[in-house]
Amino acid sequence: MPEPADLRALLLGYGFAGGWIHDPLLRATPGLAVAGIVTRDPDRRALAGSRNPGARLFETAEAAFAHGGFDLAVIAVPNSSHLELTLQALDHGLPVVVDKPLATTLEDGQRILQAAEQAGVVVSVFHNRRWDGDFGTVRGLVDDGALGEVHRFTSRFDRWAPGPTGWRDEAAGTGGGLLLDLGSHLVDQALELFGPVRRVYAELDTRANGRASEDDVFLALEHVCGVRSHLSASASQAEPGLRFHVTGDRAVYVKRGKDVQEERLLADELPEPGVSGAEPRQRWGRLHNGVAAEPVETTVGDWTGFYRDLLAHLKGDGPNPVPVTDALAVLAVLDAARRSATDGTAVEPVTATASDRMAGGVW
């Protein structure tokens, strides 16, 4: 049961993102409680109720919003419904966490920003891969100069999912496709490290039969700072292999395999900060200087950090962990990638937002 001082979260959606990512992270964050869950699926309702015996279960978002009694809405539904449900939550005055991507297009993302501004309500976007251990390691190596001046950043997310995967196989116009899925993580991490992008070139392909959207993507970004990012994601890689290859004029960092947190959540482990994101030594990356290579201990990842930082922000004690403007910058690159793949040329991203009003504000 929620403690009296807990912020009561309404979790909308109980599929992969809602049931296996957001629910355990919320339950593992002191000061937050899952007080309501929206899902129509009877099996998911049973699972949600067994994990959260004090939560109210609803079949529709409308019923949950009408019931009230919540302090935070967490949107973990298919991408095509992000805009609609976020606007509904804002209409009810609820702060919102939107699973990435914020929306399916930059234009829809800007509608969310405008609505949040008008309502004066916090919206944060769940780009949880900022709290990956391997990404934290790369950030540390870049920041402390261990690589020297970085000139190329290669980042991959590969999976083996050749068969149907549900709504993610639907047409890109309805929110499907790997560009909006894993591509959102890749672009967000590149922007976090190296800042705005001047030009985007992309290749989007469909390798598996029966899919209406891309399942193999490549993006080449030219950052304003001069770094070039090569980003790839595939659902057709039986041997994932490389995760990062970061090249500087002093050294190169190479990392294979994925952050361990997702696999532990899928094993139904409740996340424990400092423990769940710790990698065994055999999975560490290596730093190469042209003569020798040495292992680099992977920073301990912690996806619960997103919710701890959000809780602090809602209480007036810290910045929004992922403001809407950050998510708009990602969508601007993703929109440009789709235009580039259609035209076969490099394109300039549209400016994500024409307003700097959020600096120091609630967004």
- 18: confidence class by pLDDT, cuts 50, 70, 90: very high
Q: Tell me which of 36-50, 64-78, 89-103, 165-179 is least confident.
A: 165-179
Domain identity same for 136 and 283: yes
DSSP, res 360: T
Which of 222, 172, 13, 2 is closest to 99 using CA atoms?
Answer: 13
Phi and psi dihedrals of 49, rounded to 5?
-70, -35
DSSP, res 32: E
**122 domain-assigned:** yes
Is pLDDT of 41 > 50?
Answer: yes
**36 domain-assigned:** yes
Query: If you search the block for the tokens 């200087």, which residue do you land on?
Result: 289
Domain identity same for 186 and 295: yes
**343 domain-assigned:** no
Which of 324, 284, 255 is closest to 95 using CA atoms?
Answer: 324
**pLDDT of amino acid 255:** 97
**60 domain-assigned:** yes
Quote the mean pLDDT of the chain: 92
Q: Which domain holds residue 69?
A: 7-128+307-321
- The 10s digit of each residue's pLDDT in 22-32 is 999 999 999 99
- The 10s digit of each residue's pLDDT in 185-196 is 999 999 999 999
Per-residue tokens: 64:
């949950």
Distance CA 255, CA 213 (A): 29
Is pLDDT of 5 > 70?
Answer: no
**pLDDT of amino acid 352:** 57
Domain identity same for 169 and 249: yes
- The 10s digit of each residue's pLDDT in 258-280 is 999 999 999 999 999 999 999 99
Is pLDDT of 166 > 80?
Answer: no
Mean pLDDT confidence for 65-78? 97
- 131: confidence class by pLDDT, cuts 50, 70, 90: very high
**pLDDT of amino acid 355:** 43
DSSP, res 264: H
Distance CA 171, CA 310 (A): 32
Domain identity same for 50 and 135: no
Under 8 Å CB-to-CB from 353, ≥6 apart: which residues? 110, 113, 325, 328
Structural domain total, the chain: 2
**pLDDT of amino acid 90:** 98
- The 10s digit of each residue's pLDDT in 333-344 is 999 999 999 999
**pLDDT of amino acid 183:** 97
Q: Tell me which of 76-80, 103-107, 158-162 is least confident.
A: 158-162
**46 domain-assigned:** yes
- 357: confidence class by pLDDT, cuts 50, 70, 90: very low
Residue 203 belongs to domain with CATH number: 3.30.360.10
Domain identity same for 123 and 216: no
Under 8 Å CB-to-CB from 32, ≥6 apart: which residues? 6, 7, 9, 26, 72, 307, 311
pTM over 0.85: yes
Domain identity same for 195 and 252: yes
Q: What is the distance of C-alpha 130 from the center of its chain?
A: 8
Task: Give the whole-number percent of the chain exceeding pLDDT 70.
Answer: 91
Residue 107 belongs to domain with CATH number: 3.40.50.720
More confident residue, 21 or 175: 21
Which of 128, 157, 151 is closest to 217 using CA atoms?
Answer: 157
- 358: confidence class by pLDDT, cuts 50, 70, 90: very low
Cα dist from 155 to 135, 216, 218, whole Å? 10, 14, 10
**pLDDT of amino acid 69:** 97
**pLDDT of amino acid 167:** 56
Domain identity same for 120 and 142: no
- 4: confidence class by pLDDT, cuts 50, 70, 90: low
**2 domain-assigned:** no
**pLDDT of amino acid 362:** 33
Domain identity same for 279 and 249: yes
**232 domain-assigned:** yes
Q: Sign of the CA dihedral 209, 215, 218, 219?
A: positive
Q: What pairs with residue 278 in β-bridges?
A: none
Asked whether 94 and 120 are in contact (CB, 8 A), the reply is no
